[in-house]
Chain A
Amino acid sequence: MRRWTVALPLAVFFVLVGFFIWRLDLMEHGDMPNIIPSVMINKPVPNFDLPPLLLDKAGLKSSDLRGQVTLVNFFASWCIPCREEHPLLNGIGEKVRLVGIVYKDTPEQARAYLTRLGDPYKALGIINSNLDPKDPKSQVGIDFGVTGVPESFLVDKQGVIRFKQIGPFTPTDIKTKLLPLVAELNK
């Protein structure tokens, strides 16, 4: 009895070390503790109707998200991780219908951003850059539970949110998380 209690603190120490290594390893694989699981998963998309960003491309409203699997990408021209993600979005169009929502940005700057980096979106809505408590159009980001950009929501054919990506997609995220889910939802 006596003998093993002496080793107890050391045992506790190694259990803790093991725990920390395990957590660090999870972080290495993208499981960050500061990423908050969304409560919007498995809920229908909030109701919204956003004006178009471009003259020759439709705006975005919630009813557009029914009928086919769609990836809704929130982005802004001032957002550096969005730029990092953009080349990946340019290549994703054949695999899933991609629509965009411009978040806290001016139309001019958002247009310039797309002219420079390419426009992979099938439809583009814009949220007024300043929140107006009387204008529901300015609150679409909050209705989606967006905390920053980029954030993306995968919506199934019934208009239900099935997956949320917080922060930019990496090629691995697209290959291991997004595309398998798209294939499953398309069945």
Chain B
Amino acid sequence: MIAKKLFAAIVLMAVAVGPAWAVQPNEMLKDPKLEGRARELSKDLRCLVCQNESIDDSDADLAHDLRVLLRQRLQAGDTDAQAKQYLVDRYGDYVLLKPPFKTSTLVLWLGPFAFLLVGAGIAAAYYRRRTATAVAADPAVAPLSEAESRRLAALLEDDKKS
């Protein structure tokens, strides 16, 4: 009985406690559409202090500043791309959690596929060689000797005649 109550209490607590948002209510824009865009954008922008958190998740002072500025840019009529560019101009591509596809990031984007190709090549070569050696070593599938070929031809001839 006590265990059941305790379990219920734990479940209740887990449900009642929401996630702790970094975004403070006083930062939010009144226009829910703009605020929604700001939230989406800030999920893809890196907090330069904590480096592996987005500014949407981070409690750092700088993240707060960037959130406020981002919202101000949107209010001033910037498109999403313009608002992002504003930060990229100051902090570089590093501020984007998803690096852009360009010459300096080719290795990053295409590297995994190159490794996959190399791996597939090695696997293909390995299996091809293994089949070839298996055929050579197995008497059951080895090519016919000359005598065997002759005997086979004779048998087939007989078959045709009868």
Contacts and interface: CB of A to CB of B under 8 A. Distances in A.
A139 B66 CA distance: 10
Given A34-B51, A131-B65, A133-B71, A143 B90 contact: yes
B28 interface: no
A109 B69 CA distance: 26
Interface string B60-91: 01101110110110000000000000001111
Place the interface of chain B in its size category. Answer: 10 to 19
Contacts of B61: 104
Contact of A142 (B49, B88, B90, B94): B90
Interface residues of A, number: 17
Contacts of A134: 72
Nearest to A139: B69
Contacts of A170: none
Contacts of A34: 51
The A interface is mostly helix, strand or loop, or mixed, namely loop
A39 B65 contact: no
Nearest to B71: A133
Given A131-B69, A133-B69, A147 B62 contact: yes
B48 interface: yes
Contacts, number: 41
B48 A38 contact: no
Nearest to A36: B94
Contacts of B32: none
Contact of B91 (A39, A131, A139): A39
Interface in B15-50: 48-49
B139 interface: no
A142 B51 contact: no
A145 interface: yes
A36 B65 contact: no
Nearest to A134: B72
A37 interface: yes
A34 to B, nearest CB: 6
Contacts of A144: 90
20 contacts: A34-B51, A36-B48, A36-B92, A37-B92, A39-B90, A39-B91, A39-B92, A131-B64, A133-B69, A133-B72, A142-B66, A143-B90, A144-B90, A145-B90, A145-B91, A145-B92, A147-B48, A147-B62, A147-B91, A148-B49
